[in-house]
């Protein structure tokens, strides 16, 4: 599960979105300061979007179908059974489900309130921002199928790592009484009663579900288009203005330090999982190591603003700090493994 359209799109028709404004500003600066690079920049962005279009369309329609059928209700089943099973299932569903981080805040709040193990919740939280069907498609198109698959495995692995770590430390002061006094259960998605219905796979027989399919497709299409446009504009400027040897010198090499640097830089610098894929692809072309790319993607995804808010809203700062600690440690491990095997 990742930070998809419903996080930002309720206002996209009413005002100019910041991502579009930033893209336009960058292009305007190129036109003003280096007019000779304007056409190459626009051409690069157009060709990149055209090349990614099949993956965007697949992602848009896949998410719209799953949303219209109410497939998110299957998430509740991850939190049934013994704690170990719950952790594994929560990590799997968190890493594969196609819904935004904030959408599960009311659901997780209710589970915590009735005593669901924090380990399973932690597993879900850690895995959920890192991968979903749309992000898998975009990452496949921008980087490679192997990288997308490795990131999926890393997402699930990070969830299991954090979940069992939380389970083992459940009786320590860090995880004792983890909830805020009055958890904030609102969210940018506006979900009030999530996961309360049974999935209907043949949604086209119901007008309300057809409307959900249409609106979700439009929202996710706008979301992906704006972030990928920004990513490709930045990528074009990187190609033109950043020497490849600079990236190779800072983030190249096979050592532990490079992988750790990728994670440390990724946590504060990460914009969005969809925008990150083409940017990381360009960094790889310029000499970034495989391990640093993976640690950057994993650490940055977990610490992205929507994902972090979903955790901060419900638990005390010490639990939030543990969440970030698991993310940083797990991202370095994932980067090292990918460095060796990728």
Cβ atoms of residues 68 and 209 within 8 Å? yes
What's the confidence (pLDDT) of residue 306?
66
Q: What is the DSSP letter of 179?
A: B
Query: Tokens for 117?
Result: 């193990």
C-alpha dist (Å) from residue 234 to 25, 30, 273: 11, 11, 15
According to the model, what pLDDT value does residue 192 have?
A: 46
How high is the pLDDT of residue 12? 40
Instruction: Quote the pLDDT of residue 111.
Output: 65
Contact 158, 127 (CB under 8 A): yes
For residue 221, give Cα distances in angstroms to 21, 22, 63, 228: 18, 19, 10, 11
pLDDT in tens, the chain (342 residues): 554 444 444 444 445 678 789 899 999 999 999 999 999 999 988 988 888 788 778 878 877 887 888 776 666 666 777 888 889 988 988 887 765 555 556 566 666 766 678 898 899 889 888 888 888 888 998 899 999 999 999 999 999 999 999 999 988 999 888 877 654 444 444 444 444 567 788 889 899 999 989 998 898 788 778 878 887 888 788 778 877 666 666 677 777 888 998 888 888 766 567 778 888 888 888 888 899 999 989 988 888 766 777 788 778 899 999 999 999 999 999 999 999 887
In whole angstroms, how large is the CA radius of gyration of the chain?
A: 20
DSSP bridge partners of 86: none
Calpha distance 144→147 (Å, rounded): 5
Q: Please answer whether residues 333 and 154 qualify as being in contact, where contact means their C-beta atoms are separated by less than 8 angstroms.
A: no
What is the rounded CA–CA span in Å between residue 158 and residue 88? 11
pLDDT given for residue 241 in this prediction: 80
């Amino acid at each position: 599960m990742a930070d998809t359209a419903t996080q930002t799109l309720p206002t996209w028709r009413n005002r100019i979105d910041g991502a579009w404004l930033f893209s336009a500003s960058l292009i305007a600066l190129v036109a003003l300061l280096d007019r000779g690079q304007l056409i190459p920049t626009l051409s690069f962005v157009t060709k990149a979007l055209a090349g990614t279009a099949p993956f965007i369309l697949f992602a848009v329609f896949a998410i719209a179908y799953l949303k219209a059928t109410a497939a998110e209700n299957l998430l509740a089943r991850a939190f049934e059974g013994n704690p170990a099973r719950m952790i594994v299932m929560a990590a799997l569903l968190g890493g594969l489900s196609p819904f935004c981080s904030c959408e599960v805040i009311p659901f997780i709040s209710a589970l915590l309130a009735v005593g669901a193990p924090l380990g399973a919740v932690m597993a879900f939280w850690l895995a959920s921002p890192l991968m979903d069907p749309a992000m898998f498609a975009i990452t496949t198109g921008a980087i490679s199928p192997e990288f997308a698959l490795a990131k999926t495995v890393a997402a699930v692995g990070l969830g299991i790592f954090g979940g069992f770590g939380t389970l083992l430390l459940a009786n320590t002061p860090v995880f004792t009484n983890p909830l805020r006094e009055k958890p904030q259960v609102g969210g940018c998605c506006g979900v009030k009663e999530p996961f309360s219905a049974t999935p209907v796979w043949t949604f086209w027989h119901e007008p309300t579900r057809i409307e959900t399919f249409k609106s979700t497709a439009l929202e996710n299409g706008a979301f992906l288009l704006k972030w990928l446009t920004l990513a490709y504009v930045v990528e074009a400027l990187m190609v033109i203005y950043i020497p490849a040897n600079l990236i190779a010198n800072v983030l190249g090499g096979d050592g532990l330090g490079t992988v750790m640097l990728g994670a440390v830089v990724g946590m504060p610098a990460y914009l969005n999982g969809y925008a990150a894929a083409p940017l990381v692809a360009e960094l790889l072309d310029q000499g970034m190591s495989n391990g640093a790319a993976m640690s950057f993607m994993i650490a940055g995804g977990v610490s992205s603003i929507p994902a972090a808010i979903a955790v901060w809203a419900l638990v005390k700062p010490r639990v939030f700090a543990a969440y970030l600690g698991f993310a940083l440690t797990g991202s370095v491990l994932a980067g090292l493994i990918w460095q060796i095997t990728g």
